[in-house]
Amino acid sequence: IDGRDLYLTYAIYRPRWMLLHKNISFGKKLGEGAFGEVYIAKYQFREGTKVKMAVKTMHLKHSRADKLEFLKEARVMYSLQHNNIVRVFGVAALALPLIIAMELCTGGCLLSYLRKFKDTIPIERKTRFAYEAAKGLAYLEKVGFIHRDIAARNCMMTAQLTVKVGDFGMAEALPEMTVSELKKVPIKWLAPETMQRRIYSHKTDIWSFGITMWEIYANGDPPYQGQTNMQVRAKVVVQGYRLSVPGGTPDPVGELMHKCWLVDPAARPTFAYVEEHLAKHAEKPIKV
Ligand code: ADP
């Protein structure tokens, strides 16, 4: 990979989201991603300020076109700013590995939290988790950004247990081949039209969000447990099969889930609608 031409492109004017490897000081490893590792790190901006962040390394074979795509996507992600969206500070792409720098979420991944604390989590708190994710996603809907991979595993938490939606956009910016080779398609989170015709829209995002709500009330259980992707695809698409609402889910929330899974995409609710309806049943955010 020749980073030189990219470097020359940005040598005159380097935008704020374009970070330099030499300004990153790595700390302890936070976790393992599909394409690399995630570390706690500090970034020193040109004016001297140091910001603590989480950095994800991407060990991929990127062509120049892939890299440009990655940069384009990073610029969009940088522009997305909301309290319930994992903030992207920028990318370091002038050397390898490619690095995405994002907001540090010390509470870890929502899915792990659900699996760890299970039924000790009060229902109103679970509803708050769903509500906060819906708020972030309603923002993405408002600005016209399609997430494409909404799932509890892609939601993070702050130290105060505020939910933030993360891992957006990157699916698009990854090299085509690598996506199909390395990343298994999350069939159980996909709307029928995505499974069949690879269509992505706000209405396929809301389907995936319905599955995410299901995960929250099911304490992080895998959806359609014991069934293969092929079986689920056949049952959902052909027979109109749907998950049953987990025990303890407030009735209005169960109804919301099923609205997210309507066959007709146009009949499914918007994130704005879901946000508004979840608000009525959610606990207040934890104040620090
Ligand atoms: P991928 O989606 O590429 O497989 P993840 O985003 O799941 O990788 O990251 C792997 C792990 O790194 C997560 O399970 C989590 O523990 C940690 N991690 C990821 N992003 C953050 C973040 N913003 N703040 C804190 N930890 C993070």
Ligand 1, pocket-test mutation among 32, 58, 109, most atoms within 8 A of CB: 109
Note the ipTM here: 0.96
Token pair listed for 283? 């606990």
Token pair listed for 38? 């995630």
The model carries a pTM of 0.90
Share of the chain above pLDDT 90, in %: 72
Ligand 1, pocket-test mutation among 38, 51, 147, most atoms within 8 A of CB: 38
Q: What is the pLDDT of residues 76-120, one digit of tens each?
A: 889 999 999 999 999 998 888 989 999 999 999 999 999 999 999
The pLDDT value recorded for residue 179 is 47
Q: What is the pLDDT of residues 173-183, one digit of tens each?
A: 444 444 444 44
Ligand 1 in contact with 149 (CB < 6 A)? no
User: What whole-number distance in Å separates Cα of residue 93 and Cα of residue 57?
Assistant: 10
Strands 108-109 and 98-102: unpaired
